[in-house]
A and B are shown apart, each in its own frame.
Chain A
Amino acid sequence: MPQDRIRNFSIIAHIDHGKSTLADRILEVTETVSGRDMRAQLLDSMDLERERGITIKAQAVRVQWKGHQLNLIDTPGHVDFTYEVSRSLQACEGALLVVDAAQGIEAQTLANAYLAIENDLEIVPIVNKIDLPQADPDGVAAEVAELVGENAARVVRISAKTGEGVADVLDAIIERVPAPGGDPAAPARALIFDSSYDQYRGVVAFVRVVDGSFTTREPLRAMALGTRFEAEEIGFLSPTLRPTRTISAGEVGYVVTGLKDVARLRVGDTLTAEGRPASEPLPGYKDVKPMVFAGLFPTDSDDYPNLRDALERLKLNDGSLFYEPETSQALGFGFRCGFLGLLHMEIVRERLEREFDLDLLVTAPNVAYRVETPTGQLVEVHNPSEMPLEIERVEEPYIRASVIVPKEYVGAVMELCNDRRGSFDHMEYLSEARVLLVYELPLAEIVLDFYDQLKSRTRGYASFDYDISGFREGALTRVDILIAGEPVDALSLIIHRDGAYARGKALVERLQKEIPRQFFDVPVQAAIGSRVIARETIKAKRKDVLAKCYGGDITRKRKLLEKQKAGKKRMKQVGAVEVPQEAFLAVLNLREGGG
């Protein structure tokens, strides 16, 4: 296909604004799939994605329209995957910006629109769901036009559900999105914008060819990591795998690599041919690092090997998942896992529980800290109990948060952000009723319950998005929890000094309620170094006897005792104190609202 007849584009939208429905309709209108084969939201291949209304992994589908080859590159729709989104966008020349005619612009719409603009994409603004009774196509079209600097008349109005306007979208793509540039005669270069793992064929890379062409059986190399392999198969998706001999400059396709380790092929890296290699990789490769960490422990310690196997299998398809074994004196054997963000963590947890049938205890998440010790040593800390006691300085990740709310909730959101150590950046009126608030916030303040708080304080009207904006020094301190004088590793936390006392006190009070009384008084303390900042005492039991016991009662009493004994076995021993796992659960488990 001549380059001037190729168009590469993405669809960007807020959750539920109709991205997947539009993609489905495009496949139908272009007769890429027949209606009979149509599975709702074909592009989202995982059940979980369909349920959550998000797309985790990008894929690319080729369709034909009026003598043109159109490549639709699907993008992940969530903030945790910003880097992947940006790589997908880099593979395109245009983007369809879809906005719900009833909801208007949301925080995610903005974030993705800015990303598209930064990548110099031609934006085709679209107002979707114009068939809804509560739709305001004119109002929303004006909002969108304002955002992308277009004439409102150029905003395409559609209903992806009924198919109305979808052909106009395809025409607009051909008219407005530029054909790909790139030199077909230059040494081959392709951008890897996604990859997946097939248990028979190994890692499959999804690529956009920028220069030259790639041929089946050719020896290839990933330039940043230096990984070498042979292209076992090359092809495109339409919407299933279609092998072909060659893909050339401007085209989008896949390469079967035969590699057995996803970590050896990274999104953002550049493929080139070994026979005539390019001298420079494509710009923009970044090694994405996890920012949010949590301990994952099987509720039943016998499940540890199953958890290890499950993580290994998930990692095959998710190069951004990080894990390493962790042993907690309180929770036993588990893994410390690193995630791109909170949603990523939730997805991993749900997949582990759903696809691998594991019952997990997830500790309160924390962020990555950069610590400088008094000796000048620099360490990255992923687990509060590993935080050195002697600290010169600590840096924590910050985010730039965009919150869009109806104007009556501005006060509530500002209050929340101020409570969470936020600093105000600016505020914009997107329309008469809706306001964009931009704050700089420590990521640590977001990972616990910021979403929930934001939702409840704005009655669910707020939309929220963020970008990691860098590391900054903070007055952070490590708080340890001691039970009968013994520090409990799983309960250590890193917190801003101003919040240490209140948080320590709350934890200690909670534990005092959760830990059953023992034979002796048990102090529960929160401490910074050797300084105790909060203390409660679990009063000793004064009485623990079975009232009476005669000839007819002995078996029953013995069984009761055996049960008590079995119960003790499930307890975690912290020094001389027996703590039921449930107590840790209550304090740690996110779902319980603890932490």
Chain B
Amino acid sequence: MSGAARHLYVHLPFCAHRCGYCDFVTLVGRRQGHGAYVDGLLAELELERALLADPVETVFLGGGTPTFTEPAALGRLLRALPPAAEVTVEANPESVTPALAQMLREGGVTRISLGAQSFQPRLLSLLERRAGPADVRAAVHTLRGACFDNISLDLVYGIPGQTPAELARDLVEALALEPEHLSCYELEAKPGTRFTHRYGSELERQAEALEGYFEQVVETLTGAGYRWYETASFCRRAEDAAGRDLRARHNLGYWLGREYLGLGIGAVSTVGGLRWRNAPRLAGYLEALATGETPPREVEELPALVREQERLLLGLRLDRGIELAGVRGALDRGALARLEGGGLARISLEAGSERLELTHRGRFLGGGVAAELIA
């Protein structure tokens, strides 16, 4: 019997170097340990396989730097994972070689998410990124050479000292590579990182100036024919892409409030009213799985109302919004009326069902608007 989770996330924590702004679960070096970790992932997959739907719709390998994983171990993992319509791997530009591209292709990978971040050497070094602008361009060419037709670029803006002109140049450079998809994030000063320690107060000072950067990103990319389909995500329009829907299907699963299984240290799963996060320690993870136990986890119960609240806050990130029927219990109708009146939210009728979505301006204020709308 198959389960309900149509989306599978696999965490590969290894990195050549930990960037100062990163707060993900990462491990630097330890190449000789990669094989053992993959063994652990596969053991966890076996333990949880009953939770997965058949077939699985999407697989996402995130990190860390998945492409930094020792190639034999990575190949073995790819071959053992269930096949899916969309298989995405995150990659750092400097790790992309023709051999790697070939191996990913053969391993069934359909989509690459490339961590470009910026094209300005000065800003890249401030972020402690090892790839230069040339590496990004070379990586895209290599992937195109290996027939990858779905490439996403990650860009970061709001880097300390970044000017609007530099952001404009980054966008031009990124568009020149004609990616199918772009994810653009404002740099977050996450508590506890080296980066926040060093630049936190500077980021606070430029907070107001940064408001314009978000507008600049949205205007430039939509002007270039991209669809702003999620708060921080853009894809080529279906009509420009031979009818293909180029939204990230895996991530859409999160934003639509679907169930997903996560494997690996620090990975999060949400299945059947429960959410659990594997503990971040490698040793504990491997020890448990070696003896056939589930790894140490933190489990959180998600009552129906909480799931509904989450569907609301996630669904409002999407340009098409969310079906009203699924979030009624979590919705503050008075707040909705106010926000409708203020031109920030609207109800639309589509195929006989009511949808709640944010207006263009409302989407720029989506966080605060969601806080209002949740009862």
Q: Which of A543, A552, A554 contacts B266 (CB 8 A)?
A: A552
A114 touches B (CB below 8 Å)? no
Q: Judging by beta carbons under 8 Å apart, are B364 and A543 in contact?
A: yes
Question: Are B366 and A545 touching (Cβ within 8 A)?
Answer: yes
- Report the bound CA distance from A256 to B367 in whole Å: 67
Of the listed stretches A314-322, A479-487, A556-564, name the one at the interface; the rest are far from the partner chain: A556-564
Interface residues on B, range: 35 or more
Given the known interface contacts A543-B365, A545-B231, the answer about A568 and B371 at a Cβ–Cβ threshold of 8 Å is yes
- B254 contacts A544, C-beta separation under 8 Å: no
CB neighbors of B among A512-570 (8 A): 519-520, 541-552, 554-555, 557-558, 561, 564-565, 568
A543 touches B211 (CB 8 A): yes
In the bound complex, residues from chain A placing their C-beta under 8 Å from that of B188 are: 547
- Chain B residues, CB < 8 A from A520: 342
Nearest CB on B from A519, distance (A): 6
A152 CB to closest chain B CB (Å) equals 66
Residue in B260, B344, B366 whose CB lies within 8 Å of A551: B260
Judge whether B17 is part of the interface by a CB distance below 8 angstroms. no
Which residues of B are found within 8 Å of A225, using beta-carbon distances? none
> Chain A interface: which of B167-175, B234-242, B309-317?
B309-317
Scan A571-586; emit 1 where CB is below 8 A from any B CB, else 0.
0000010000000000
- Stretch of B32-40, B115-123, B267-275 lying at the A interface: B267-275
Given A519-B344, A542-B215, A548-B183, decide whether A558 and B310 contact each other with a Cβ distance below 8 A: yes
The answer to whether B268 touches A561, judged by C-beta atoms less than 8 angstroms apart, is no
Residues of chain B lying within 8 A (CB to CB) of residue A551? 7, 9, 254, 260, 262, 268, 270
Residue of A nearest to B269 (CB): A551
Q: Is the CB of A554 within 8 A of B342?
A: no
Could you mark each residue 168-193 of chain B with 1 if its beta carbon is under 8 Å from any beta carbon of chain A, else 0?
A: 00000000000000010110100000
A residues in contact with B243, CB < 8 Å: none
- Give A554 to B338 CA distance when docked, in angstroms: 26
Q: Which residues of A contact B365 (CB under 8 A)?
A: 519, 541, 543-545
Asked if B56 lies at the interface with its beta carbon under 8 angstroms from chain A, I say no
B367 / chain A contacts, CB cutoff of 8 Å: 544-546, 561, 564
Q: How far is the CB of A205 from chain B (nearest CB, A)?
A: 59
* Most chain B CB within a 10 A radius of its CB, from A545, A549, A558: A545
Cβ of B232 < 8 Å from any Cβ of A?
yes
Name the prevailing secondary structure of the A interface residues: loop
- Nearest CB of chain B from residue A56's CB, rounded to whole Å: 48
Min CB distance B307 to A, Å, is 10
CA distance A548 to B344 in the complex (A): 20
Q: Contact residue range for chain A? A: 20 to 34
Flag if A547 contacts B364 (CB, 8 Å).
no
Contact of A542 among B211, B232, B254, B275 (CB under 8 A): B211
CB distance from B3 to the nearest CB of A (A): 16
Known contacts A547-B186, A561-B367: A541-B211 contact under CB 8 Å = yes
Q: Mark B192-214, 1 if CB is under 8 A from A, else 0.
A: 00000000000000000011101
- Least CB distance, B7 to chain A, in whole angstroms: 8
B267 & A552 in contact (Cβ 8 Å cutoff): yes
Contact of A561 among B183, B262, B374 (CB under 8 A): B374
* B149 proximal to A (CB < 8 A): no
**CA separation between A561 and B317, bound complex, in Å?**
14
Kindly provide the distance from the CB of A513 to the nearest chain B CB, expressed in whole angstroms: 13
Min Cβ gap B275→A in Å is 6
- Minimum CB distance partner of A542 in chain B: B211
Instruction: Give chain A residues whose Cβ lies under 8 Å from the Cβ of B313.
Output: 557-558, 561
CB <8 Å contact, B214 and A543: yes
Nearest-neighbour CB distance to chain B for A561, whole angstroms, equals 5
Determine the chain A residues whose CB is within 8 A of the CB of B212 once the complex forms: 542
Nearest-Cβ distance from residue A566 to partner chain B, whole angstroms = 10
A177: min CB distance to chain B, Å: 70
- Measured CB to CB, the closest approach of chain B to A212, in angstroms, equals 73
Complex Cα distance, B275 from A548, in Å, reads: 19
Assess whether A548 is in contact with B185, with CB atoms less than 8 Å apart.
yes
Residues of A within 8 A of B374 (CB): 561, 565
Contact among A544, A547, A550 for B368, CB-based, below 8 A: A544
Further contacts, 13 of them, CB under 8 A, given A541-B211, A548-B232: A541-B365, A542-B215, A542-B364, A544-B366, A545-B231, A547-B186, A547-B232, A549-B255, A550-B251, A551-B7, A554-B275, A555-B275, A558-B313
